Amino acid sequence: MKQFKILVVDDSILMRQIMKDIILSDKSFVIAGEAQDGADAIEKYKLLKPDAVTLDIEMPKINGLICLQQIMRIRPVPVLIVSAYSKTGSKIALKALEYGAFDIVEKPSGSISIDLDRKKDEILMKLNMAVKSNMERFREVKEIAEITKKLARSKAKRAEKLVAIAASTGGPKSLMDIIPKLGSELKAAVSIVQHMPAGFTRSFSERINSVSHLNVFESVDNAILNEGDCIIAQGGRHMIFDQDGIIRHNDDSPYHSVRPSADIMMLSSIRYFRGRIIGVVLTGMGKDGSEGVSMIKKMGGINIAESQESSVVFGMPKSAIDSGNVDFVLNREDIPKKIEELVNEMG
């Protein structure tokens, strides 16, 4: 059995030891080495050539964000951010995802989390996904300029068509490529479930909003979507549409081990939008979204799945495709144009 080499980076010797113990509990992994700051990490990375890296963000000398940029320039490998920064959904953690971080794990109790073992299953699951992921999709980091919006909100028209998007691991990068390319004249609303921790989706929404023509915002109770709106489900809560198309939330148990669930969002959207829905399943592990696209297709809607070539993790798109209810399998860069075409064609 192949063993994957992991480089552990954290300025705390205690945290490095806890992280190593977690990683070594899975026989798929060996420790390539450890580093105590960003400068040390870059040198060890060049020397040791690990298959993946666990990286803290808040470190002396060179912080984790700069370290991540350098790693991606040298030789892209999956980098799992394990940091207290992610707990607040900070803009720095979001920047890490833009720069190519594979995913994020929150330290449960701040920078020194002696209870990190609580995150053992999540860390090992994400590392196992990471070493099997499609790193070609991380090779280019695109800087997206912020735009000035000209929204005539007084003329806003309630949306009668919906683009319902499911995304998980690798999704933030995909969404940053897709949503900014949709024009402000889109005759539909966009509803997104991106699997993210609670408290993180607000910063993510604000970031996408700053570079998009659409009006992007985190979900709130009683929201009614207009054409050109793009709503992102709150982390940690299921987002649903009631029969009048009004947004509600609940704290029901995770579905397919996730909350929010794209399936729950998609299935509930049918109550109001009926067959006027375009389902989109992007990169991610698992099968969230496959039930949703099946019902969307049954009701007369149209579905898109991200291709294996552009997916970081092909689990969710593959599950949707295997359901037999996907109409178009497209590379990420081709999805925005197809969404606009289908919205315009939909009656």
Concerning whether 195 is annotated as a catalytic residue, the answer is yes
Instruction: Tell me which of 83, 168, 219, 323 is the catalytic residue.
Output: 168
Instruction: List the structure tokens of 332.
Output: 């990420």
Peptide bond connecting 260 to the previous residue in cis, omega within 30 degrees of 0: yes
Q: Is 177 a catalytic residue?
A: no
The SS3 of residue 240 is strand
Distances in Å between the alpha carbon of 263 and those of 167, 230, 299? 11, 18, 15
CA distance 250 to 262: 14
- Catalytic residue selected from 195, 213, 238, 256: 195
Packing angle of the helix pair 64-74, 38-48 (nearest 10 deg): 20
The single residue of 11, 103, 263, 288 carrying the catalytic annotation is 288
- The SS3 assignment for 110 reads strand
Instruction: Report the distance separating Cα 178 and Cα 339, nearest Å.
Output: 10
Are 256 and 278 in contact by the 8 Å Cβ rule? The answer is: no
Who contacts 17 (Cβ-Cβ below 8 Å, separation ≥6)? Answer: none
Q: How far apart are CA 246 and CA 240, in angstroms?
A: 8
Catalytic residues: 168, 195, 288
